[in-house]
């Protein structure tokens, strides 16, 4: 029975690929009739100014573990590279929201790279909102961090 080994040879890579395929959550931003922005996983029919943000992000708290003493963030800091598409999406999201941020390019600035290394950065973007840290970009997750920080 030569069919069984051939079947295993074909199915194993396909099964492995299917199980390892990335699943990014998509978040939409739209504006209602009053000009108020909204975010969600599906915009309503006929919504104006619909934009899509997709990505995977990990959020962590960098403080001493006492969430009760978190203070609102005075600013948002964004560690980026110029070629990173998720960095561009994160910057566009913050600009559209009207949230000021400090952009730190880890490829062109030695001090930004040193700080990024000290933070244990493993990829970009790394977004700091007060004591909260997001690795990668997820619009819904970032919105939660900003709202929690009073921004």
Structure tokens at 84: 């990173």
Give the neighbor-by-neighbor strand order of the sheet with 101-105.
57-61, 132-136, 126-129, 76-80, 101-105
Q: What is the chain's Cα-based Rg?
A: 20
Q: d(Cα 145, Cα 135) in Å, to the nearest integer?
A: 12
Looking at residue 88, what is its pLDDT? 96
Helix axes 85-97, 139-148, angle to 10 degrees: 40
**Over its length of 151 residues, how does the chain's per-residue pLDDT go in tens digits?**
555 555 455 544 444 444 433 334 455 556 677 766 655 556 677 776 665 545 556 555 555 555 455 454 458 999 999 999 999 999 999 999 999 999 999 999 999 999 999 999 989 999 999 889 999 999 999 999 999 888 8
Distance from first CA to last CA of the chain, Å, rounded? 66
Locate the domains of the chain by residue range.
55-148
Strands 57-61, 132-136: parallel, antiparallel or unpaired by DSSP? antiparallel
> Which pLDDT value is given to residue 129?
93
Q: Is the pTM of this model over 0.85?
A: no
Closest by CA to 147, choosing from 76, 81, 90, 78, is 76
Q: 55-148 in CATH: which number?
A: 3.40.30.10
How many other CB atoms are there within 10 angstroms of residue 134's CB atom?
Answer: 21
Q: What is the pLDDT of residue 33?
A: 75
For residues 90 and 108, what is the distance between their CA atoms, to the nearest angstrom? 19
Q: How many CB atoms lie under 10 A from the CB of residue 126? A: 25
């Amino acid at each position: 029975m030569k069919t069984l080994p051939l079947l295993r040879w074909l199915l194993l890579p396909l099964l492995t690929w299917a199980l390892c395929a990335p699943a990014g959550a998509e978040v939409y931003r739209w504006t209602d009739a009053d000009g108020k922005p909204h975010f969600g996983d599906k915009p309503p029919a006929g919504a104006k100014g619909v934009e899509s943000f997709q990505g995977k992000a990990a959020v962590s708290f960098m403080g001493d573990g006492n969430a009760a003493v978190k203070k609102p963030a005075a600013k948002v800091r964004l560690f980026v590279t110029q070629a990173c598409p998720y960095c561009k999406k994160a910057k566009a999201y913050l600009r559209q929201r009207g949230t000021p941020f400090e952009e730190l390019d880890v490829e062109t600035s030695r001090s930004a790279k040193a700080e990024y290394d000290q933070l244990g950065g493993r990829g970009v973007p790394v977004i700091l909102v007060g004591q909260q840290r997001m690795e990668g970009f997820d619009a819904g997750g970032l919105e939660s961090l900003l709202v929690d920080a009073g921004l």
